[in-house]
Amino acid sequence: MLEIGSRVTCLPIVHGSGDFAWEVRRLMLKHSFDCVAIPLPPSFQTPVETAILKLPTPSVVFQKNLPNYQSQWAPKHDTDTGDGENSNSGSAENHETREPVPGASYVPIDPCQAMIAAIRTAMGDHIPRKFIDLETSRYHPHTRSLPDAYALKKLPIERFTAAIIPHIAPSTDPQWKSRIDCQAWNLRELCVDYKNILVVTSVLDFPWIRQAFNDRSLTLPKDENSLAPETYQLPLDSLYFLLGELPFITGLYESARQELGDDEHLSIDGLKELLIAAREDYQAEYKNRARKITPKLLSQCLKYIRNLTLIDNRFTPQLTSIVTAAQQVAGDGYALHVLEKSKQFSFAKNLGLPTARMSIDQAELPGEEIVDVVSRLPGPPVSLSQIELIPRPDDNQIVDWQQNWDPYSQCSWPPEDDLIENFRQTVFDRAKEAMGIDLVQTEKFTTSIKDGIDIRDTVRHWYNGEIYVKVLPPSVGKLDCSVMLFDSPADPREYPWRTTWFAEHKNESTLAFFATDFADQPVGPGICLANYGGALFLYPPVAIHDIWQDPRLDFATTLEERLLAAACLHSRCPNIALVSSSPPGMAWRQLAKKFKKKWVHIPLSRFSDSTVQQLRMVHVLNGKDVRSYAADFIRKV
């Protein structure tokens, strides 16, 4: 199906796809070709091949439009009624350029471009390359949305192409028709000197090149005057707009190439590596206040990405789907690192070339204004999408926020108060359950199952068929105090902020805690962030002395012991709920015995890591007026 005549094999591709670049390399290694034909103008051959030698660092070859030149293919005004019917049916008018011609065209020297991969492989195997496209003064692109290239993992290239051909139509642009005729004519000329030619072309052009190749009335179009192409390097922040795959994924392809690794499924497996690499950067920045990105959480994120991708009718995800899933599953902090990591390219270096900057359909060339540009290897149409992520503040903002802080006006953020008060009530409820376990009685079933069947005693007496039921006591006592130790043993140097806060209303507890220094982590104007190491809650709220200044507690030698001693001193109930990673040791039990109290221990592991991590965060506001805009700056880690 892909043969054009007896000496030409055509490989239809989708530009900007790592899967098609892999398919090109596979085909060229499997078969022997004595020539590779490339649908680019001959004037591009030297700069493109020179730039390919500088890979894996990407670059771009620009050809500026010839100024004040009246092209014979200048686009005319479209007279279509705009009802949208033709574009849905794949007619000739799909995605035609009807706007004023751009300022330049370019060839991206991208390792994941199939055509670049073909040239690179041919150069490595010393196979002759022939550039067969028409010279034009202004290039008119021809592209449209195409199926996801990941389908190649399940379909051979022939079936993939056969499925697309019925849904594409020739362009009405005269330049496009002349370019097809020129490529077909040059392929005929190459058949005189070569016996096995490979031509790598867009799947949108393949049927019409084959048709023109077999057209006996074919004539050679005339080349236009054109400017010499120029090569530029790009900064890291422009690579995302040049490369077909994400820069991070492109770097994985190049790593696999250098290490002779398997890169067949990198378009999907690379996504997993991206999430793991972003996790390492995220944990390095947030340290002990970072949410634990467990394998289970990563699995949920991947499922979320899959669902968003299927909604978009794709097999491989777009960057917006990846970042949205990371944000919803693991929070804004992790999503921000995923976004930043996806745009990192590990092989970038200075090529000693002039530097250009790129965006979507625009470029800033050295010493010139921003010009409109079009790619000569255009992938599917792209558009900008918006994701709401609060950016990380820069150093100047942080210094300004710190200098404007009023040390005599501090308050908490109500949503966090509600969150930790709800957690305190949950701790009380679980502690009461634990207190009641020792008072549960068991008796034989007669007429009522009481408070439920006692499975243990029922199984123990299974031999005689007797059923035993539980009898819970009507009351298990009261609780008015709980201590939560999130980090034990705690390093005093890590938790310099120690204070006691009093309740603003009757639904809040009296709170004493030790935490990290909030002044070191400003997140907005008048907003700082600290991390609890441990906290004491008294509910209903009571007025007490600041436990960190109370001389009655000076016998305590550690931060945890001072909290526990304060709990024993101020609690009016004989039992105190204690949440910690390990049960109380002998010293803590003796401390409770001294005040005639008893610890009701609840393991910290009973609560999810994400819940604990969220509870440990405390935002400090520089006055109650800051509460009106705090939500715009407080980001979920």
Q: pLDDT-based confidence at 367, cuts 50/70/90? A: confident
- Domain check: are 453 and 485 in the same one? no
- Domain check: are 207 and 301 in the same one? no
Q: Average pLDDT in the 406-414 region? A: 86
- Domain check: are 50 and 108 in the same one? yes
Residue 403 in domain: no
Alpha-helical (H) ranges within 106-149 are: 114-124
- Domain check: are 315 and 425 in the same one? no
Classify 16 in phi/psi space as left (phi over 0), alpha (psi -120 to 50) or beta: left
- Domain check: are 590 and 485 in the same one? yes
- Domain check: are 150 and 86 in the same one? yes
Omega prior to 366 cis, within 30 of 0: no
Residue 418 in domain: yes
- Domain check: are 76 and 110 in the same one? yes
Q: What is the pLDDT of residues 254-303, one digit of tens each?
A: 888 888 887 777 888 889 999 999 999 988 887 766 778 888 889 999 99
Q: How far is residue 286's CA from residue 417's CA, in Å, rounded to a whole number?
A: 22
Q: Is the dihedral of CA 130, 133, 134, 136 positive or negative?
A: negative
- Domain check: are 430 and 455 in the same one? no
Chain centroid, CA 612 distance in Å: 24
- Counting every residue written for the chain, the total comes to 637
pLDDT at 610 over 70: yes
Number of domains in the chain: 4
- In this predicted structure, what is the pLDDT of residue 70? 67
Q: What is the pLDDT of residues 422-450, one digit of tens each?
A: 999 999 888 887 776 666 678 888 888 87
Q: How far is residue 550's CA from residue 543's CA, in Å, rounded to a whole number?
A: 13
Alpha-helical (H) ranges within 468-571 are: 559-570
- Domain check: are 487 and 619 in the same one? yes
Q: pLDDT-based confidence at 74, cuts 50/70/90? A: low
- Domain check: are 459 and 535 in the same one? no
Residue 402 in domain: no
Full domain range(s) for residue 617: 414-439+476-632
Query: End of a domain among 205, 220, 238?
Result: 238
Q: What angle do CA 632, 635, 637 make, to 5 degrees?
A: 175
Q: How far is residue 617's CA from residue 118's CA, in Å, rounded to a whole number?
A: 53
Query: End of a domain among 344, 374, 397?
Result: 344
Q: Average pLDDT in the 403-431 region? A: 88
Q: Is the dihedral of CA 205, 207, 213, 215 positive or negative?
A: negative
Query: End of a domain among 344, 377, 402?
Result: 344
Residue 296 in domain: yes
The number of CA neighbours under 13 Å toward the Cβ of 100 is: 4
pLDDT at 156 over 90: no
Q: What is the pLDDT of residues 201-257, one digit of tens each?
A: 988 888 899 988 888 888 888 988 888 999 999 998 888 888 888 899 998 888 888
- Domain check: are 88 and 208 in the same one? yes
Residue 114 in domain: yes
Q: pLDDT-based confidence at 102, cuts 50/70/90? A: low
55 Cβ contact partners less than 8 Å away, ≥ 6 residues apart:
109, 111, 120, 254
Residue 357 in domain: no
Q: Is the dihedral of CA 279, 282, 287, 291 positive or negative?
A: negative
Q: How far is residue 170's CA from residue 90's CA, in Å, rounded to a whole number?
A: 9
Residue 554 in domain: yes
Q: What is the pTM of this model?
A: 0.74
For residue 419, count other CB atoms closer than 10 A to its CB.
15
Q: Are 144 and 380 in contact (CB under 8 A)?
A: yes
Residue 541 in domain: yes
- Domain check: are 427 and 464 in the same one? no
